Structure 1
Amino acid sequence: MTIITNLKKLYESDENLCLEETIELLKQKQFNQLDLENLIEELISLAKIDLAKAKSFLRQIIIHTMLLEYWQVEYEINFRHWIGEIKTFRYDLNNHLTTNLMNKLQDDLENIYQSAVDFVEVKTDLKIFPEKCPYTFAQLLDSNYWP
């Protein structure tokens, strides 16, 4: 039985151990022994997870920015909490961003905004939000920007 077959079987039974073995093969430059099919699948999965995480951070920034700007009834009670959430999510997103993720988020900003609007409308019972995202991508990431 070859190492490639072993890696394929290992992938099915212990994905984490298979990844550790794959890393060792890469470090040793034993490329011919890699299970490329499953390695590609794992890399695609990692890319999707990274994008989903970045979208989630951005959505949370938008949600809390909208709460801060529009939900006047709750403002006095919650504004410090919302500011803290915005700061935290900005920090997390800025630390997670790559050029590729930044481009994808900018391209999908309107869709992310719409999902934030859906959430905020349910939470606040307000129906007053702009149809298009009123914030630029740069504003959403800027630690000095507040609506």
Structure 2
Amino acid sequence: MTDLADLYQTDYAAWAQRNAELLRTHRFDELDIAHLLEELGDMGKSERHEMENRLLILLAHLLKWDYQYQTLSERWREFKGDSWRETIIEQRDRIAKRLRKSPALKSSLDEIQFEAYADARVLASKETRLPLDTFPERCPYTWSQILDDDFYPESRP
């Protein structure tokens, strides 16, 4: 194992700085290629994972809005869904920012949505205590609706 590979195991920040320095000075033969490839692969996974998590939270809140908002607002006149609205706004903003920073994610959005929605459905069921089959098996929202700042689903009885 090279000194640089050892450094990867003991001081990640120093390893990254050293590889960056080697790249800047075009000393490619000294790079820790194996670990660099691993890190680059993990970066893509990390971006995708963050997008999936944000989308999961957004979709769960859209489902709660869609399937429980009216019931709660009728039961408690003071219930306006402010915390749900804030979460929906925040997640939309963060998803939009992530898409601007990592436009390559756009090619995987349908797959990410499919995976996130399955978990969002379960989360919405747990948080609302409504049966899982209350929520559609497939995501009922289009991408334009999901990302539209003015879209809040119609409350279903």
- For 1:91, the equivalent position in structure 2 comes to 93
TM-score in terms of structure 1 length: 0.90
Q: 2: CA distance between counterparts of 1:78 and 1:66?
A: 16
Q: Spell out, residue by residue over 1:128-147, the C-alpha distance to the aligned partner (whole angstroms, 9 max, x if none).
A: 11121000122111212221
Q: Count the aligned residue pairs.
A: 144
Q: Spell out, residue by residue over 1:26-76, the C-alpha distance to the aligned partner (whole angstroms, 9 max, x if none).
A: 122211110100000111111111110011111111011111111134345
Contact 2:52 2:115 in 1 (8 A): no
- For 1:142, the equivalent position in structure 2 comes to 148
Q: 1: CA distance between counterparts of 2:97 and 2:109?
A: 14
Q: 1: CA distance between counterparts of 2:89 and 2:42?
A: 28
- For 1:110, the equivalent position in structure 2 comes to 114
| 1:109 Cα offset (Å) | 1.7
| 1:25 Cα offset (Å) | 1.2
Which of the pair has the greater relative contact order for Cα pairs under 8 Å at 6+ separation? 2
| 1:99 Cα offset (Å) | 2.9
Does residue 39 (structure 1) correspond to residue 36 (structure 2)? The answer is yes
- For 1:129, the equivalent position in structure 2 comes to 135
Q: Tell me, which stretches of 5 or more residues in structure 2 are unaligned?
A: none
Give the letter aligned to residue 26 of structure 2. Answer: K
TM-score in terms of structure 2 length: 0.84
Q: Which runs of 4+ in 1 moved over 6 A?
A: none
- For 1:81, the equivalent position in structure 2 comes to 83
**Once structures 1 and 2 are overlaid, which stretch shifts more, 100-109 or 13-22?**
100-109
Q: 2: CA distance between counterparts of 1:99 and 1:51?
A: 11
**Once structures 1 and 2 are overlaid, which stretch shifts more, 40-49 or 64-73?**
64-73
| 1:78 Cα offset (Å) | 5.4
Q: Tell me, which stretches of 5 or more residues in structure 1 are unaligned?
A: none
- State the identity %: 29
**Once structures 1 and 2 are overlaid, which stretch shifts more, 113-122 or 98-107?**
98-107
Contact 2:59 2:117 in 1 (8 A): yes
Q: CA RMSD in A?
A: 1.6
Residue aligned with 2:81, SS: helix
Q: How does 1:49-68 map to 2 (within 5 A)?
A: 49-68=46-65
Q: 1: CA distance between counterparts of 2:7 and 2:108?
A: 34
